[in-house]
Amino acid sequence: MTSRPRPARVRKQPGERRAEILRTAAAIALEEGLERVTLRRVADDLGVRPGLIGHYFPAADRLVSEAFSHAATEEREGLLPLAERGLPADVRLARFLVRLADGAYRDLSRLWLNARHASRFRPGLREAVRAEESATRDALAGLIEDGRSAGLFTTDDALGAALHILVTVDGLGVYANDDAQLDHPVLEDMAIATAERLLGLAPATLRARV
């Protein structure tokens, strides 16, 4: 019997390969933690040699930092989609907070908790965490300012309100590893209630706007 020739291996373009590596590393970080993101582990998942991963990311810390940034950027784009920019600010804020409260982003809450702890020992990761925090803070403050300008929110300090809301969200994220605690109704709408109080909205307004 004549054996069939093996198909030629397709060489991926550098940009495509790098994006594939980052997606794989981010998936590992979300599912198992940043500590599991290594050149060898990513190579194993992709079925390639570790040297190929090292070609794009000579330092493992760089891979870890960019994997976190990739996941955090996708989180922000999922929570505040560009496609919703034309909606009223209160609807966009409502969707942002309800998406967080309903648990779809629990793995990302765990990743943020993991990244903030690990960043104490990894300068590159620390810079990545700061950059993603700043981008999320600016996006939320801009949304609140849009609502203030449209007469939907009463705050005079959009940045201050954004900080208050995000600190509440981050505080809830401390419980990301405790599934039983997260299911308590007191915690479920804490960030939503905080936003309503800061922005001069009646209780339950934001869920109704979703």
CA distance 25 to 29: 6
Predicted pLDDT of residue 171: 87
Q: Provide DSSP, 78-128.
A: HHS-GGGTTS-HHHHHHHHHHHHHTTTTHHHHHHHHHHHHHTTT-HHHHHH
Q: What is the pLDDT along the chain (210 residues), one digit of tens a residue?
A: 444 554 445 578 989 999 999 999 999 999 999 999 999 999 999 999 999 999 999 988 999 999 999 999 999 999 999 999 999 999 999 999 999 877 677 888 889 999 999 999 999 999 999 999 999 999 999 999 999 999 999 999 999 999 999 999 998 888 766 665 556 677 778 999 999 999 999 999 999 998
Predicted pLDDT of residue 180: 56
pTM: 0.86
**Of residues 114, 104, 53, the one with CA closest to residue 78:** 104
The full set of domains in the chain, from first to last, is 63-209 (1.10.357.10)
Q: Provide DSSP, 181-199.
A: HHT-HHHHTHHHHHHHHHH
CA–CA–CA angle 65, 142, 96 (5° rounding): 70
Cβ proximity of 112 and 171 under 8 Å: no
CA distance 210 to 93: 9
Alpha helices by DSSP H, listed for 49-88, are 50-56, 60-79
Predicted pLDDT of residue 12: 82
Predicted pLDDT of residue 1: 46
